[in-house]
Amino acid sequence: MIRSIRGLFKKANQDVPDSSGRGMLLQQVSKRLGNAQVLDEINLEVKQGECAVLVGRNGSGKSTLLRMLAGILLPDTGSIQRTMKGSDGYAVDGLPRLPFTSGEYLWDMGRIRGISPEVLRGRIRELSELLYLDTAIDQKLPLLSKGTLQKVNLIQALLPGPGGLLLLDEPLSGLDIPAQEGIVSLLGQWKDEGTSIVTACHEPLLIERLADQVIVLKKGSVLRYWSREDILQAGEPVVRIQSLTKAGEDLVNDLSIVQQPGVLSLVRNTNSEKSNSWLWDWKVVQQSTDDVLRMILASGGSVVSVQQEESQLHMESLLEGQHPAVHASRRGVTESVDLSSSMDDAGGEAK
């Protein structure tokens, strides 16, 4: 179960900020480190309340660009203009294993940023609950697993609250599924409240849910820019559900079920034909999952499993500069089943 993030750090009666004319603009930004040209004439604009996702293979310049946006590095040439307001947060790619407990580290980071003790205590508690930090709050950083250390890393970046600029280097790396869902949901809320996000990320979950633009980097240069519209053409993520009904209950003949919005396919598992129950395999779009689960239970069925959503994005193609929808269009004919046309005249089972 994903814990609620509604209202986390949100002030009462807070309006959505006006993003006109506010944001960050990079023009012809270049950077050399030693003999290597790590960034070459990068152009990037991120408006207030937008999320820009950097993708690229190792050595493409993603982390260097984030460090530059954080002010850790300065460009050799080009300009960076910022007109957005608010505090910044930065989660590096791999938090050092410092000799502190998680709680001690988060407390010191919050106090360094000027957050009052009362407010800081509440924020650490809320974010720890959101990311399921649990007893690791009292454990030393060197003893934590990679995933738990990443949770601490993200919490320290989120302590200032929504607004301003949030820089995240592979934020979902090593996280368990509930924590991934929690952080993506929270970032979506903060985006709506005016937070600008720039992140290097290779998880389709974050790209599909949050990205307003995807910047593909290759050897320090921009290979492609993709817009939100390009990403949506790949289709919504798909969730697989298995459910049980009494033997003989043929769901594909029930129009109230097969015409349920968001149901892509419904097939009876042939391995269950001789038992007292029939096993059904569903594919539904992510945003309709809750409605379908409620429908299954209300009709007297039971839920066997709900698998993690299957992305429609093909990251390997995206890294090569191909359109996000290219791979989805190639496989859509064999994987997506339109239930409205998949039954024969006799009302047979979906193929």
What pLDDT digit, counting tens, does each position of 176-209 carry? 888 998 999 999 999 999 999 999 998 888 998 9
Domain boundaries, the chain: 23-232, 238-335
- Of the candidate ranges 107-111, 240-244, 339-343, the one whose mean pLDDT is the lowest: 339-343
Chain mean pLDDT for the chain: 84
Confidence of residue 140 (pLDDT cuts 50, 70, 90): very high
| Contact between residue 203 and residue 172 where contact means Cβ atoms under 8 Å apart | yes
pLDDT value of residue 81: 92
Q: What is the mean pLDDT of residues 223-228?
A: 93
Tokens at residue 75, please?
């460009």
Confidence of residue 307 (pLDDT cuts 50, 70, 90): confident
The residue count of the chain comes to: 351
How far CA 61 is from CA of 70, 213, 218, 301, in Å, comes to 14, 17, 8, 51
pLDDT of 38 over the 80 cut: yes
Of 55, 66, 64, give the one whose Cα is nearest residue 31: 64
First to last CA, the chain: 33
pLDDT value of residue 288: 86
- Of the candidate ranges 129-143, 224-238, 294-308, the one whose mean pLDDT is the lowest: 224-238
Neighbours of 176 (CB within 10 A): 13
Q: What is the mean pLDDT of residues 56-75?
A: 94
Confidence of residue 237 (pLDDT cuts 50, 70, 90): confident
CA 328 to chain centre: 19
Sign of CA dihedral 70, 130, 50, 61: positive
pLDDT value of residue 343: 31
pLDDT of 274 over the 70 cut: no
DSSP assignments along 106-146, one per residue: HHHHHHHTT--HHHHHHHHHHHHHHTT-GGGGGSBGGGS-H
How far CA 156 is from CA of 73, 237, 259, 291, in Å, comes to 21, 30, 46, 35
Burial 14-50 (b: 16+ CB within 10 A, else e): eeebeeeebbbebeebbbeeeeebbbbebebebbbbb
What is the distance between the alpha carbons of residues 245 and 304, in angstroms, rounded to a whole number? 11
pTM of the model: 0.73
The superfamily in CATH containing domain 23-232 is P-loop containing nucleotide triphosphate hydrolases (3.40.50.300)
pLDDT of 330 over the 60 cut: no
pLDDT value of residue 345: 33
- Amino acid (1-letter code) at residue 37: Q
Burial 139-173 (b: 16+ CB within 10 A, else e): bebeebeebbbbbbbbbbbbbbbbbbbbbbbbbbb
Name the DSSP class of 285. Answer: E
- Strands 302-306, 238-246: pairing is antiparallel
Name the E strands within the chain: 23-33, 36-47, 51-55, 77-82, 89-91, 165-169, 196-200, 213-218, 221-227, 238-246, 263-268, 277-285, 302-306
pLDDT value of residue 327: 54
- Per-residue pLDDT tens for 74-100? 999 999 998 887 778 999 888 889 999
Tokens at residue 232, please?
């949506």
What is the distance between the alpha carbons of residues 192 and 163, in angstroms, rounded to a whole number? 10
Confidence of residue 336 (pLDDT cuts 50, 70, 90): very low
pLDDT value of residue 339: 39
Does CATH number 3.40.190.150 belong to domain 238-335?
A: no
